[in-house]
Structure formats: C-alpha cells, structure tokens
Amino acid sequence: MKLVPTPLAGCFVIEDQFFGDERGYFFESFNQKTFEAATGQSVHFVQDNQSMSKRGVLRGLHFQQHEHAQAKLVRVLRGSVLDVVVDIRKGSHTYGQTFSIELTDSNHKQLFVPRGFAHGFLVTSETAVFFYKVDNYYNKASEQGIIYNDPQLGIDWGMDASQFILSEKDQQLPLLRDIQPQVV
C-alpha cells in the first residue's frame, strides 16, 4: 500500500501493490499500521457502504457536519468514476480547493478523504460499483452538501452536464459560500 499525498493536506491517493498471475490477483486494500505510519492519522472505520449507479449519475458533493463528520476511504469495484473532493475545513490554507481523480476497477486506486471535505463522484462507465469505508456513523440530520456546478469551485466533470443524472436533493444543494466551514 503506497500513499501519495494530494495537493489538499490530509487527502491521499492509495496505490495498492498488486499481485497477479494466471489464477487471478491479490492485493491488500487497507492496512491500519501502514496507513497510520504514512499519514500520522489514526482512523477507525466503523461502516462500509456500497452503491451501484449507471453512466451519468452524479452523487454529491456530500459531507456530514460537526461531531458526525466522516473520513472516507473510497474505491471502485466495477467500472469507473471521476471522484471529486473539496476542502471545506475552517482555517485550511486549501479551503475551497478541489482535487479529482479517476478511480477504476483496473487502476485499483483508492482515495482517502479526511473529515472536513465534501465528496462526490460521476459515473463515467456504463455502470459502476462504488465502495467506501467511513469512520463515523451516518446521521441524516447532519447531512449537508454543495451543488456540483458551483462556479466558485469550477469543477471540470469531464462530461456534458446534460448527461448528468442527479437526485432531487443533489439538485437543491447550496453554494460553497452559503455553507459553514467545517471545524474538525
């Protein structure tokens, strides 16, 4: 497991060491000791989540507020997505900055999203199975988000917006300037 820092402090791309032969493959997708040694962060995951979505589905940009904030370790089990994070941490020198990465079933990359970040993804394959671990339980009352097309963020989703499929909730999310920065 190799951790590669992103331009956003505390956010890492994880590149797994992959072992394959004629039987198939094996890789260690997470190792607590390796993660803590490389990042200096202690994360205890408490819940795994999985979704399946079709091409054009955009989920996000979501986060949980206050004591219900969540760190996430995200990956794609089948297909491909453009995964996007936004730093919304109060006082962060990268507040309002974004990072995006293609996560696929063939590149086996993962993204560690620390608490205090909004997160979303766009499915770029016909379908995608998206899997993620979180370090805090879901709390509906603490759920919040930022609209995907916020001009302040200027996210290039790499696909024409007319192809997007969004939930009604995600179409109504506020702009970055209208949310409270997160204290983590």
Q: Where are the domains of the chain?
A: 45-178
> What pLDDT, on a 0 to 100 scale, did the predictor assign at position 184?
78
Q: Does the pTM exceed 0.85? A: yes
* Catalytic annotation, pick one of 62, 108, 119, 148: 62
> What pLDDT, on a 0 to 100 scale, did the predictor assign at position 116?
97
Q: Block means of pLDDT (10 residues each) for the chain, length 184 residues?
A: 93 90 90 90 94 98 96 98 97 97 96 97 98 97 97 97 97 96 86
Active-site residue, 44 included: no
**CATH number of 45-178: 2.60.120.10, 2.60.120.1440, 1.10.3470.10, 3.80.10.10?**
2.60.120.10
* Catalytic annotation, pick one of 108, 119, 132, 148: 132
**Distances 146 to 18, 48, 143 between C-alpha atoms, Å:** 35, 23, 11
> What pLDDT, on a 0 to 100 scale, did the predictor assign at position 142?
96
> What pLDDT, on a 0 to 100 scale, did the predictor assign at position 18?
82
Active-site residue, 132 included: yes
Which residues touch 105 (CB under 8 Å, ≥6 apart)? 76, 77, 78, 79, 80
> What pLDDT, on a 0 to 100 scale, did the predictor assign at position 25?
87
